[in-house]
Amino acid sequence: MNVSQMIVDFTTCAIQSGGWMEMDRLYLQNRILGLIGEVALTETEVRPVTEKPITLMDQLVAKAKANQVIGETLAETEILEGQLMDFLTPPPSVVNAFFAQHYETSPATATDYFFELCQRNDYIKTRGIAKNIVFPIDTEYGALDITINLSKPEKDPKEIAAQKQVVAVDYPKCMLCMENEGYLGRSNYPARTNHRIIRMNLDGESWGFQYSPYAYYNEHCIFLSEEHRPMKIERSSFERLVKIVDVLPHYFAGSNADLPIVGGSILSHDHYQGGRYEFAMAKAPIETTFDMADFPQVSAGIVKWPMSVIRLQSADKKAIVDASERILVSWQTYSVPELEIVAFSPDGTPHHTVTPIARRRGELFEIDLVLRDNNVSAEHPDGIFHPHQEVQHIKKENIGLIEVMGLAVLPPRLEKELVEVEKYLINEANEIADYHLPWAENMKAAHHVTAENVQAIVQQEVGLIFKQVLEHAGVFKRDEKGQAAFNAFVTQL
């Protein structure tokens, strides 16, 4: 196909996407022509397009590189990709109008429209996400999801070095600010030209709803405050989470904790995450029920889970928010020093918060409150309730909302490292990392390893380490002493 026909076909895709009309064809074709460094269109035909827009985008970007409009860096490529796919994306006002129109049919119809748009215009990096290594492993807590994150393309070392020389720009303030919508991008900041945000009113505040470009699970989305302000878990957090699942009852919504070590990667911008996925923790049963005398409309219980989770259910939105606030306030000042559970440092630094998750169960609202403690000690300088040293060869990063619910997000290094572990186990030449050796020796002793079963054994053992990671993060351990202390905490509620 010649370049002119590529441009015409891509323009047809843009018009079909809903943001343009046939009258706009010449304008669009000339815009694309200029972006890729061409000066004229030859004779072409407007025809049904069989190729996917993303394939045409690749061809147009390749032509731009051949014309030396852009270089070979990842940043330049992604900026042009964003500009091209923006033609397949209606303006924010139109996207929001379509979303509202679809919402009148049903909330799921509205999110289906928006999710499909964000995949079609390559804002959600479906090709990158498909590279992730994903497998489940069975445990006594249900099937945990293991993901080795390979979706984000790696930059060339020269490009990384060049980025350090770029003058710092405080715009947008962070990657969760609304100012990202339509932002061109730069060498040290991602392209967002094709990015769109659905506006939401959460109890009088302006919020946005968008999808994650590198999703870890189905319809992974983010709810973000219009105001760039630090995250804080408080009563209004529970109110907003309940409001979100009231508006989008087919989605869950949850928040990272608001303290370092146990919090997420972005604590500087108030936001929540959500999506259309049922995690292992959501499926986990109640192990022990208890009453909260001041909240007879709310049922409460301790969840069978490696971390310390209280589950609340009620048809009364205010009652479940009130009960959640009571638990948070109580936990923020609660200490069990003999279990290294300490609410405040001597200087008054707070160490207790919760990771809250809201969902709908028919007519009921459900909130899971995961108790978090970010204390450190001489034995555990990275965090007492954080992955301990013996598991950090697999996972040493923070245990945030996604991991809490039972999905491991493991670092890209493991893709190659685990292959070397497998080679070591079947006595092939290998370059196993020293920090994997004790683990590998334990596997050799515990299993009859063959070339046929080695991958399955390694994956199962990775999953069991993730289970151990979650157990490390649990404040009330699942032993007699820990469970007695957990029961004492819920009793005083």
Decide if pLDDT at 252 tops 80.
yes
Q: Would 45 be classed as within a structural domain?
A: yes
Q: Would 140 be classed as within a structural domain?
A: no
Mean pLDDT of 283-292: 97
Separation in Å, CA 440 to CA 39, 47, 463: 60, 58, 14
Mean pLDDT of 291-298: 96
Q: What is the pLDDT of residue 156?
A: 72
204's CB contacts (< 8 A; 6+ apart) are none
Q: Would 7 be classed as within a structural domain?
A: yes
Q: What is the pLDDT of residue 154?
A: 75
ω into residue 172 within 30 of 0, thus cis?
Answer: yes
Summarize pLDDT for 169-182 with one digit per residue, the tens: 899 999 999 999 99
Q: Would 421 be classed as within a structural domain?
A: no
Contact of 15 with 24, CB cutoff 8 Å: yes
Q: What is the pLDDT of residue 297?
A: 97
d(CA 388, CA 378): 12
Q: What is the pLDDT of residue 203?
A: 85
Mean of pLDDT over the chain: 96
Q: What is the pLDDT of residue 312?
A: 98
Q: Would 189 be classed as within a structural domain?
A: no
Q: Express as a percent the part of the chain with pLDDT over 70.
A: 99
| Residue in 302, 255, 251 with CA at minimum distance from that of residue 485 | 302
Q: What is the pLDDT of residue 166?
A: 75
Q: Would 423 be classed as within a structural domain?
A: no
CB-facing half-sphere around the CA of 387: CA atoms within 13 A: 20
Q: What is the pLDDT of residue 167?
A: 78
Q: Express as a percent the part of the chain with pLDDT over 90.
A: 94
Q: What is the pLDDT of residue 425?
A: 98
Q: What is the pLDDT of residue 266?
A: 86
Quick one: the chain helix, strand, coil %, rounded to 5? Answer: 40, 20, 40
Decide if pLDDT at 193 tops 90.
yes
Summarize pLDDT for 69-81 with one digit per residue, the tens: 999 999 999 999 9
Buried-state track 26-60, b at ≥16 Cβ within 10 A, e below 16: eebbebbbebbebeebeebeeeeeeeebbebbbbb
Summarize pLDDT for 297-311 with one digit per residue, the tens: 999 999 999 999 999
CB-facing half-sphere around the CA of 121: CA atoms within 13 A: 31
The whole domain housing 33 covers 3-69
- Count of structural domains within the chain: 1
d(CA 476, CA 309): 10
When pLDDT is cut at 50, 70 and 90, the band that residue 66 belongs to is very high
Least confident of 147-156, 223-232, 422-431: 147-156
d(CA 370, CA 320): 15
Q: Would 34 be classed as within a structural domain?
A: yes
When pLDDT is cut at 50, 70 and 90, the band that residue 400 belongs to is very high
Q: Would 265 be classed as within a structural domain?
A: no
Decide if pLDDT at 265 tops 80.
no
Summarize pLDDT for 112-164 with one digit per residue, the tens: 999 999 999 999 999 999 999 999 999 999 999 999 999 988 777 777 677 67
Summarize pLDDT for 90-105 with one digit per residue, the tens: 999 999 999 999 999 9
Other CB atoms within 10 A of residue 478 CB: 17
In degrees, to the nearest 5, what angle opens at C-alpha 56 toward C-alphas 52 and 61?
145
Mean pLDDT of 421-444: 97
Mean pLDDT of 21-41: 97
Buried-state track 334-370, b at ≥16 Cβ within 10 A, e below 16: bebeebbbbbeeeeeeebbbbbbbbbbeeeebbbbbb
Summarize pLDDT for 351-360 with one digit per residue, the tens: 999 999 999 9
d(CA 38, CA 68): 11
Q: What is the pLDDT of residue 153?
A: 83
Contact of 126 with 112, CB cutoff 8 Å: no
Alpha helices in 17-72 (DSSP H): 25-35, 53-66
DSSP state of 91: -
Decide if pLDDT at 255 tops 80.
yes
Q: What is the pLDDT of residue 489?
A: 98
Q: What is the pLDDT of residue 233?
A: 97
Mean pLDDT of 2-27: 96
